[in-house]
Chain A
Amino acid sequence: MPKQKLNPLPAAAFQILLALADQDLHGYGIMRQIAEQTGGRMRLGPGTLYGSIQVLLEEKLISEVEPRDDEKLGHERRKYYRLTPEGRKLARSEAERLADLLRVARAKKILRGDYV
């Protein structure tokens, strides 16, 4: 998959990287974590979720770890995903880019305060 797929980084992919920032999660866990971190505004459907996971795996931004059960969800083997150092780096640079945008928003006086 060419790098351009993630440039610019789609919102869903960025949310997945953020969801995995502090824990390994399975697909449904990622979906729930994203819903939580966006206050319920973003609920990834299976197509978007696994499509993004596939690209992130191909780009080695996340990796698959040993499948295991999630006791809370019954006895079903689940694939778990983990953020790689490259994934963390990309998430950080995306966050910095957004911080930059925020600065522009301030400059435009959309946000008031000590501008620009």
Chain B
Amino acid sequence: MSEKLYALLLRLFPSRFRQAYRGDALQLFRDRWRDECGFLPRLRLWLDLLADLAIAVPREHSRAPIQRPVDGVPSFHFLEGELPRVGALVLGGVLSLVPAAAAISAARLESYRLLDGRVAFAAWAQQRTTIPGAPVSLKIDAAERHRVIEAAATNLKKSYVDPGIGAKVAEALLTHEENGDYESLTDAASFADAVTKQMRDVSRNADLTLDYFPEGIPQRPVGPPSPEQVARYRESLKQQNCMFEKIEILPHNIGYLKFNFFPDLSVCEATAKAAMAQLNNADAIIFDLRDNRGGYPATVAFVAAYLFDHPEYWFNPREETTVQSWTRSPVPGNKLADKPAYILTSHRTFSGAEQFTYDLKMLKRATLVGETTGGGAHAGVFHRIDDHFGIGITEVKAINPYGQNDWEGTGVEPDVKVDSADALSKAEELARTKLRGK
């Protein structure tokens, strides 16, 4: 009986699919029916099948090629060449509602399970594949909002770099809650945005954020990485030449360095030095950071040191300003300190790569060519509140000599705005013009 019912439902698929896989689909149904006995497993099986129909039937129809009749030859039209019948649409609609309701309740169950904080990272990564249309912003109730506000306030009081302001921001949030200002914010993402705005308004600090992650925040791995993991990491860095992708001398003796990461110096110092040495005799240098997603702050400062003949204050929004905050210039034997420098940027340029870009722009030591960068300074230290909410709190006092805000959320604007694909040729042209003018 069940198999017959499923066979009937398979008619919703386009004929091309049915011809190829009807037998296989029924075989799979029989296999699961045999192996999944009992009320709950069978119920789950049916929910799975209905959810599958709701997703796969429209997709298969959209995939099916339209039957083109050949002139003069009588031909039959299959469903995919025509609009579906009204009856089929109604049946499809009803069938979609059932799994949609099931999926929503599954999503809720899933998130409650997540909230108890026992789901590991791998599970988190896979979890999103089980909910059709995920991620969606969750609906949250007063209890959850209260929990988030309480945790945010506690973290702010405990960790904010300026205890006075931290307490003020915390109080502001608690007052908003007391006044019922959050009552209408039942959507998790809007709630996070509103709280973020309030924290920034009170603190005048753009690095404070309340973040909502619909997909869940992975648990921190327990304990330090194993020696094998460390060895594998080092090995893979070396295999990729420490992410230094291209080191070339372009026409007109322009040095070109494309690197996609600022790697750990304990593994890659020799590679970084060798790369810079290879370009030492260039008349100008182009740093291609279009695919650079960041890296170690020490490496960012290490590479920048080649561009100065004296120690230069090197702003890092994530670190306390100390004597370490100056570049270690001059670098012995280096000839690049007075050469024109260009940085190629894209919207993918991120984090540590943006620090390199931002600082050299502010120091007027490089010309930025390309697109506005990604906008991730993440100077706040991330505190996990639960599996969906986290708060970024500024915990260190870094002196930004260029103004109050860094590039968080806004990115670094290039000096010469061009499509990132054209950035290299534009920078070469600028370098050539500059060198000719000498």
Chain A interface residues toward B at CB < 8 A: 1, 5, 11-12, 15, 27-28, 31, 38-39, 41-51, 53-54, 73, 76, 78-79, 98, 100, 103-105, 107-116
A79 pairs with B56, CB closer than 8 A? no
Q: Chain B nearest CB: distance from A114 CB in Å?
A: 7
Q: Which residue of A lies closest to B9 (CB)?
A: A47
* Cβ–Cβ contact A47 & B382, under 8 A: no
Interface centre among A48, A100, A103 (most CB of B within 10 A): A48
Tell me the bound Cα distance from A109 to B211 in angstroms. Answer: 12
Q: Is the CB of A51 within 8 A of B60?
A: yes
Tell me if B296 and A116 are in contact (CB < 8 A).
Answer: yes
Q: Contacts A38-B126, A47-B60 known; A112 to B21 CB distance under 8 Å?
A: no
Partner-contacting stretch, out of B22-30, B172-180, B245-253, B271-279: B22-30
Please classify how large the interface on chain B is, using the bins under 10, 10 to 19, 20 to 34, 35 or more.
35 or more
Cβ of A45 and Cβ of B53 under 8 Å apart?
yes
A selection of 16 A-B contacts at a CB cut-off of 8 Å is A5-B63, A28-B28, A31-B32, A39-B122, A45-B51, A45-B56, A46-B21, A47-B17, A47-B57, A50-B17, A76-B27, A98-B125, A108-B382, A109-B381, A110-B218, A112-B220
Complex CA distance for A50 and B51, rounded to whole angstroms = 15
CA distance A49 to B262 in the complex (A): 41
How far apart are the CA atoms of A110 and B278 in the complex, in Å?
37
In the complex, given contacts A38-B126, A54-B20, what are 18 additional A-B residue pairs having Cβ atoms less than 8 angstroms apart? A41-B123, A41-B126, A42-B129, A43-B48, A44-B52, A45-B48, A45-B55, A46-B21, A47-B25, A47-B57, A48-B55, A50-B20, A50-B25, A108-B376, A109-B380, A110-B213, A110-B390, A116-B352
B327 within 8 A of A: no
Q: A39-B123, A110-B390 are in contact. Are A47 and B52 (CB under 8 A)?
A: yes
A116 lies within 8 A of B295 (CB): yes
A41 touching B293 by the CB < 8 A rule?
no
Distance (whole angstroms) from the CB of A88 to the closest CB of chain B = 19
Report the nearest A residue to B352, measured CB to CB: A116
Which chain B residue shows the least CB distance to A53? B21
Check if B352 sits within 8 Å of A31, measured CB to CB: no
> Which residues from B are CB-within-8-Å of A107?
293-294, 350-352, 376, 378
Q: Is the CB of B381 within 8 A of A49?
A: no
Q: List the A side residues contacting B27 at CB < 8 Å.
A: 27-28, 76, 78
Do B52 and A42 have beta carbons less than 8 Å apart? Answer: no
Chain B minimum-CB-distance residue to A42: B129
B224 → A minimal CB distance (Å): 9
| B217 CB–A CB distance under 8 Å | yes
B24, A27: Cβ atoms closer than 8 Å: yes
